[in-house]
Amino acid sequence: MIKRIYSLPQGFDPVDYHSGKIFAYYRAYGGKYDFCSFYSSDDAVIMLNSSNAVIYGKADRECAELISLLGAQSAECAVRIDIDGYSAHEVYLCCGKPFAAEKAEVKTEVAFGDVERVFSPSFPGIPADAYYTDLSHRVRHGVSKAFLYRDSFCELSFGAGGYSFLSAVCTAPESRGTGQMNRLLGSLDIGSDLAVICEKELLPFYEKIGMKKKRTYFRMTKDNA
């Protein structure tokens, strides 16, 4: 039986992408807020954050029913699960140390205006102000970091399994193809390999800059979301 929990199970460790993401958000928010809530069964831990779910452990029919009941817009999991009214597709874990011919002067204090300018065209379905508020909170709690180089931006979301996971990797439309993101990622010196979850069309970019596809995960998206 799945139940809501207000603290993570004893011994819960961030050993991979899904457990790392759950652990990072728990560090940032704890278990008391409805917008970032946590659930567990005998074999799985589930997080729902702003209508996006993450499942770590054995994803079974009970997990699928919870995702549907909560009305999540999407769910991330190591395996494909069938959820009524959702479509599943593959996403890819890429890992490695990106290389850049020239190092960039990367900003680590990023103003809202810069995030809005770069982030909004790349993620039109996510309000930039809501994302920046969430990012700022996680940065204050030492969970995440933000990086900007010219018109390229990325977030170091959390560390898990020996990797530093990136998210919100984006470049303003007018500067795409100029090598800015390559220089940004190749200039990050954070003591561990980088990792990112990407869609199929972005695999060639990450492989080109020195990262390698390590494994396949799944994302289930609500139909007509």
| Domain span holding position 40 | 3-84
Residue 223 has pLDDT above 80, yes or no: yes
For residue 185, CA distances in Å to 94, 125, 189, 205 come to 13, 24, 9, 12
State whether 105 and 79 are in the same domain: no
pLDDT of res. 21: 98
Q: In DSSP terms, which residues pair with 91 in a beta bridge?
A: 217
Quick check: 213 pLDDT over 70?
yes
Inside any domain, residue 28 = yes
188 and 110 in a single domain? The answer is yes
When pLDDT is averaged across residues 43-61 and rounded to a whole number, the result is: 96
Going by pLDDT thresholds of 50, 70 and 90, the confidence category of residue 225 is low
Residue 73 per-residue DSSP state: S
pLDDT for residue 102: 86
Confidence at 37, pLDDT banded by 50, 70, 90: very high
CATH number of residue 215's parent domain: 3.40.630.30
Question: Is residue 109 within 8 Å of residue 120, measured between CB atoms?
Answer: no
Q: Are residues 135 and 32 in the same domain?
A: no
Instruction: Look at residue 100 and give its three-state secondary structure.
Output: coil
How much is the average pLDDT of 65-85?
Answer: 97
Question: Structurally, how many domains does the chain consist of?
Answer: 2
| Average model confidence (pLDDT) across the chain | 96
Residues 98 and 198 in one domain: yes
Which of the listed residues 42, 57, 84 is the one where a domain comes to its end?
Answer: 84
Residue 119 sits in the same domain as residue 65: no
189 — pLDDT class (breaks 50, 70, 90): confident
pTM of the model: 0.96
Q: Output the six-digit token pair for 205.
A: 């970019």
Asked if residue 212 and residue 107 are part of one domain, the reply reads: yes
Number of residues that this document lists for the chain? 225
Last residue of a domain, one of 33, 62, 84: 84
CB 217 within 8 A of CB 197: yes
